[in-house]
Structures are given as C-alpha cells and as structure tokens.
C-alpha cells in the first residue's frame, strides 16, 4: 500500500507488517508512523531513492506499507445471506477494477468477486482507484468464472449480467422485482463485455437503456448505474 | 480530431477543413480519405514524424483532422424546451469531462454546458473519452457559471446540484417529481464538488446515498447515477 491515504486505511483495516518511510514523509505523517508501531509493524527508514524504487507512481509520497493480502475465499466473501454482489469477469484495467470496487462499496454491496481474467485488486492503481474501498468489503478471486457464478447461485443470488444487448431493460417495470431481490451483477471486460458463455449462465441479461446517440457507457459508469439501480429497487421495495 | 474513430465521427457530424494522413494510415483507411475529399477537406500527406508531432497520444494513428470548433452559444445549446441538461461547473480533468459528455448523451440529455473553470471539451483526451459524444449533442462554454445557471432557469429547467452533503437523497420519494421534471444537473470539480455559491443558487442539492463505507463516488460515476436517475424518473412518470 502506497501513500498516506492507502497506508492509513491499511492500518485501520488490514494487517501491516512493515512500513517503509522517508524522513520527509515521517515528518509529514508522525501519526501514521506511530500507528504502524502500535500495530506491531516494523518501521524502516528509507532514502528518497529507495522509496521511489518501491513506488509505481510518478511522484512517490515516501510511504509504502507491506500488508497481508486482502482477498478471502469466494464462500467467505459471500457470507450467509448476501443481498448485493458485484462480479468482475474479465476487467483488464486496474483503475476500472478499483472504481467498480468503490462503486460497489458505495451502493452497499456485500462483496466483490474478481473472476476469470480480471486484474489483481492488489495492483497499486486498483487500490488507489478504490480510494480505500478494497478494505471495506470482502474481496475474493477465482480464475474459474463459472465456479464463481455457481457459488453466487448457491448463496441464493439471482445472476444478472450487464449486457448492452440484454433482453431486459434496466428501467422497464419487469426489471424492478429482479433488481430488488438478492442479485449478483456480472460485469465483463472493457472491450467486449461479459463473455457469451457467462452471459448465457446468468438468469437475466440486463441492458442500460441508451436514450441518445452514444453507442454505450464505459464499464465503470455502467456498473454504477446498474448497482445503484439495485440499491434503489431494494429500498423502494422495502427490502433494504 | 485524432485517430480513425474521432475522424470518422468528425466527417459525419462536423465541418472538416484538413486531414493530415500518413501513407500507412491512408492505406488502412481509404474510406476516411475518400470521405474527407468528398466533404471538401484538403487531404495532406505527412510523414510519421510530422503525424507524431501533431499527436498528443503515445501511439499516433497517423490521422489528424482539423475541424470547426463544436461549441455553440448557451442559448442555442439549450434550445426551446430542454428536458435534461448536464452542467459541468469546474471539472478539471479532460477524461472526466469527456466521460460526463458520453454519459449525458447516453442518458438522453439535450445539451452539455461547460461552465466556470471547466476544461475545454475540444481537448484531445476529452474527445477520446467522449467516444464520439462531443459530436452528438450541443455543447456550450461560458466561464460565467452563474450566467449559465440563469440561462438554464430561463429555459424552464429546475436547477439540481449534485452535492455529497445535499438535503435531498436521490432515491427518496420526494426526489422523484424533481427528477422527472425538466432538470439541469450541476456537477462540480473533482476535489471539492459544486462550489458553495453555485450550490446555493440551485433549487435542490441532491446527494447520491452512500450505503457502504465508501466516502464518495468519483465524478463520472456520480454523474452517471444522477443522470440515469432522471432518465428513469422521466420514463416512469410517462413524460419521456
């Protein structure tokens, strides 16, 4: 975890083993250094050059924490009675994955499952784009996307694929009860959306209606519209 | 306009004066070169090096079109009876501005108004992030954000500021009639949202509810949720 914000969240929510810190960063963030010591982490002073070599940003902040990985098993992430879950199936861009995790957190999702060829949520860009949300809700990874969908169904979730050519319009009346029930939203890759075989496994394929002349929404904005449509439907139906 | 997709949209929707094209790009896109000639544009063969110097991307596609600017006056963009308008008031990042234009297009907005210190929508990154939507709906720019809001109100629009601390929750019943009526959504800067003086001028300040532990949504995803909430409310109320 890199930078003051991520390190602060890590100290709050994760197990931190080591904190590498430059003198300047230690002066700027004495609270973080103290919190790391309190948490039992080894605090290691480093030079600017060493901090830069640990960093994957253009302007390193001089603070890098080594933490336990965040992800858990799929069953553990789903828990007993999940009501809203986001499945990322083939998201390649770490910024998009982090943004979807942030949106899922904001919309009240119980977990985010990273399935198939989806980027690692521990990627620095994904962590930054999530602005702390990687720590807020359970994350699980499994390359076997079909197994992830089976686990969701086993947990009582209706499988809904976000699909620009889906048979159900997000805002049509028939979509309302689907969205208000416990749902796993499946989001696919940036270029081609949800793979055909996974979309076929879903109970419904839902499209965000396009009212103007845009061809589509990008992945993160489509996920936001879909997840918040579920949050709204749950609330309106009195289930939330 | 740079690259095959943007040049194709420009030839379809805008006045193109010149097309600079490398030999390789001309071989790849003979249709675009022919369309440019048909449109009365001057087609200018250039070297790879010249194309690179015209480009602001890392991997230039060898196609750059010089077009008329796209923006019109605020009154012209608003037209007679606008029903849904997005006002960008202080958006600094061109990718965000382009994404908001794309989302506004998809949600069926009548116009996007770029007010105050908002980035120029002709910026190459904004054009690319809009994936053609800069050509699809009227754009207007005015540094005087208060004048833009006055023009919106004059056109019969209710002014609604997207505001994380807003008094109205996007999904509460009281928000429904507000969103279903003709609305100008006001989106502020990435760091601090809508400026206090502009939020105070709005008729309502609406917050996207945060159900989990995320602090907020990012600008583009919040705009998507808000604009689509209006699209849904209009449709459900039978006005759309």
pLDDT in tens, A139-178: 999 999 999 999 999 999 999 999 999 999 999 999 999 9
Q: Which residues pair with A20 in a beta bridge?
A: A44, A64
* Interface pTM, i.e. ipTM: 0.93
Query: A70-118: per-residue pLDDT in tens?
Result: 999 999 999 999 999 999 999 999 999 999 999 999 999 999 999 999 9
- pLDDT, residue B56, reads 81
Give the gap in angstroms from C-alpha A154 to the nearest C-alpha of chain B. 24
Confidence of residue B60 (pLDDT cuts 50, 70, 90): confident
Which residue pairs from B5-10 have beta carbons closer than 8 angstroms and sit at least 24 positions apart in sequence? Answer: B5/B131, B5/B132, B6/B65, B6/B127, B6/B128, B6/B132, B7/B32, B7/B36, B7/B63, B7/B64, B7/B65, B8/B32, B8/B35, B9/B132, B9/B135, B10/B65, B10/B67, B10/B135
Mean pLDDT across B7-23: 93
Q: How far apart are CA A13 and CA B142, in angstroms?
A: 45
H or E stretch at B63: strand B63-67
Give the gap in angstroms from C-alpha B137 to the nearest C-alpha of chain A. 8
- The residues near A46 (Cβ < 8 Å, ≥ 6 apart) are A20, A21, A22, A54, A62
**Is the model's pLDDT at A133 over the cut of 80?**
yes
- pLDDT, residue B240, reads 45
Please state, rounded to an integer, the average pLDDT across all residues of chain B: 95
A91: nearest Cα among A198, A201, A211: A198
- pLDDT, residue A239, reads 47
**DSSP secondary structure letter of residue A2:** B
- pLDDT, residue B117, reads 93
Which member of B133, B210, B232 has the closest CB to residue A214? B133
Counting one residue from A and one from B, how many pairs have CB atoms under 8 Å apart? Answer: 123
- The residues near A169 (Cβ < 8 Å, ≥ 6 apart) are A175, A206, A207, A209
Q: Which residue of A has its CA nearest to B102?
A: A214
Q: Which residues pair with B11 in a beta bridge?
A: none
Among all chains, which residue has been given the structure tokens 């994904």? A126
* Residue B175 DSSP SS3: helix
Q: Residue B171 and residue A232: Cβ atoms within 8 Å?
A: yes
Q: Which CATH class is domain B4-67?
A: alpha beta
Please state, rounded to an integer, the average pLDDT across all residues of chain A: 95
Residues of A within 8 A of B220 (CB-CB) are: 218, 220-221
Query: A187-214: per-residue pLDDT in tens?
Result: 999 999 999 999 999 999 999 999 999 9
Q: pLDDT over 70 for what percent of chain A?
A: 99
User: Could you confirm whether domain B74-236 is CATH 3.40.50.720?
Assistant: no
The answer to whether residue B220 neighbours chain A at the CB level (below 8 Å) is yes
- pLDDT, residue B199, reads 97
- pLDDT, residue A183, reads 98
- pLDDT, residue A240, reads 45
- pLDDT, residue B59, reads 83
Residues of A within 8 A of B101 (CB-CB) are: none
**DSSP secondary structure letter of residue B135:** G
Confidence of residue A59 (pLDDT cuts 50, 70, 90): confident
Q: How far apart are CA B171 and CA A70, in angstroms?
A: 32
Q: pLDDT over 70 for what percent of chain B?
A: 99
- pLDDT, residue A232, reads 95
Mean pLDDT across B57-61: 84
- pLDDT, residue B239, reads 47
Query: B104-148: per-residue pLDDT in tens?
Result: 999 999 999 999 999 999 999 999 999 999 999 999 999 999 999
Q: pLDDT over 90 for what percent of chain B?
A: 89
Domain positions in chain A: 4-67, 74-236
H or E stretch at A186: strand A183-187
Q: How far apart are CA B178 and CA B111, in angstroms?
A: 19
- pLDDT, residue A44, reads 96
Query: B156-211: per-residue pLDDT in tens?
Result: 999 999 999 999 999 999 999 999 999 999 999 999 999 999 999 999 999 999 99
The answer to whether residue A99 neighbours chain B at the CB level (below 8 Å) is yes
The CA–CA distances, whole Å, from B132 to A171, B20, B30, B41 equal 25, 19, 20, 20
* Residue B221 DSSP SS3: helix
Q: How far apart are CA A78 and CA A182, in angstroms?
A: 12
B78: nearest Cα among B167, B175, B155: B155
């Amino acid at each position: 975890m890199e930078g003051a914000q991520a390190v602060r969240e890590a100290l709050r929510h994760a197990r931190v083993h080591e904190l590498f810190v430059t003198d300047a960063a230690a002066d700027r963030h004495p609270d973080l250094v103290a919190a790391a010591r309190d948490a039992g982490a080894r605090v290691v002073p480093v030079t600017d050059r060493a901090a830069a070599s640990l960093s994957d940003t253009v302007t390193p902040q001089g603070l890098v924490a080594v933490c336990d990985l965040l992800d858990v098993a799929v069953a553990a992430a789903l828990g007993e009675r999940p009501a809203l879950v986001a499945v990322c199936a083939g998201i390649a861009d770490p910024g998009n994955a982090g943004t979807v995790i942030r949106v899922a957190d904001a919309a009240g999702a119980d977990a985010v499952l990273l399935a198939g060829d989806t980027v690692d949520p521990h990627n620095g860009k994904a962590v930054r784009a999530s602005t702390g949300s990687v720590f807020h809700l359970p994350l699980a990874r499994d390359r076997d996307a079909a197994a992830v969908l089976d686990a969701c169904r086993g947990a009582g979730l209706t499988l809904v694929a976000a699909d620009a050519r889906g048979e159900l319009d997000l805002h049509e009346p028939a979509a309302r009860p689907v969205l208000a029930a416990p749902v796993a939203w499946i989001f696919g890759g940036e270029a081609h959306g949800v793979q055909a075989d996974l979309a076929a496994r879903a109970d419904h394929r839902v499209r965000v209606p396009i009212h103007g002349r845009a061809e589509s929404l990008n992945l993160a904005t489509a996920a936001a519209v879909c997840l918040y449509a579920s949050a709204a439907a749950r609330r309106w139906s009195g289930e939330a």
